[in-house]
Amino acid sequence: MENNTVNIESKNSFWASVSSLWSGLMLSLRHIRKATKRRNQAYISDKDYFAQKEGLVTLKYPYEAIPVPDNGRYRLHNEIDDCIVCDLCAKICPVNCIEIESIKATEEIGITSDGTKKRLYAPKFDIDLAKCCYCGLCTTVCPTDCLTMTKVYDFPEVDIKNMIYHFTDLTPEQAREKQLLFEQQQAAKKK
């Protein structure tokens, strides 16, 4: 039972207090003295991340930045040439930040870089990055790997409308034209 109590030896004598106050002051003075040095900015996987014990830690961000890890998930990018407009990303998105409209093509419009045939135009492929929660689900469901998360994380905007990224490669006129072509083809089929 005698081991259950912890005796912290209390030093309440005057000189013990003075020396403890003094050592506190010396501790902060040591940090001031070493304030001329700066720590190397290293990512946590770096070998000497914990080896640096002194120097200033501040990262002067806009001027310096630590590298983003390879699996970092930041701004979305859609390679529209590879996109088959399957809408899977929009469906899985938990915050509904992707909006897609599609127009059926009258014929095969090409193949993606992994060999999938493209049959749909995307007159609208908008990602509202102000809503995006960076979960990365859309990139995992993308069948052609055209939707990816890049390492760009610094993209603030003054106007929040600019946070909506438009990835379509069609102008509204082109889109209308494609729509018209499709309708004509459908009408021809019915006859």
Q: Give Cα separations from 119 to 25, 112, 140, 150 (angstroms).
A: 73, 11, 22, 27
Residue 9 Cβ vs another protein, minimum distance, rounded to whole Å: 20
- SS3 for the chain, per residue? CHHHCCCCCCCCCHHHHHHHHHHHHHHHHHHHHHHHCECCCCCCCCCCCCCCCCCECCCCCCCCCCCCCCCCCCCEEECHHHCCCCCHHHHHCCCCCEEEEEEECCCCCEECCCCCEECEEEEEEEEECCCCCCCCHHHHHCCCCCEEECCCCCCCCCCHHHHEEECCCCCHHHHHHHHHHHHHHHHHHHC
Residue 157 Cβ vs another protein, minimum distance, rounded to whole Å: 22
- Is the Cβ of residue 31 or residue 91 nearer to another protein in the bound state? 31
Residue 98 Cβ vs another protein, minimum distance, rounded to whole Å: 38
Residues contributing to the site for another protein (CB under 8 A): 21, 24-25, 27-29, 31-32, 35, 38, 54-58, 60
- Is the Cβ of residue 47 or residue 60 nearer to another protein in the bound state? 60
- Is the Cβ of residue 6 or residue 27 nearer to another protein in the bound state? 27
- Is the Cβ of residue 6 or residue 25 nearer to another protein in the bound state? 25
Residue 154 Cβ vs another protein, minimum distance, rounded to whole Å: 17
- Is the Cβ of residue 3 or residue 28 nearer to another protein in the bound state? 28
Residue 156 Cβ vs another protein, minimum distance, rounded to whole Å: 17
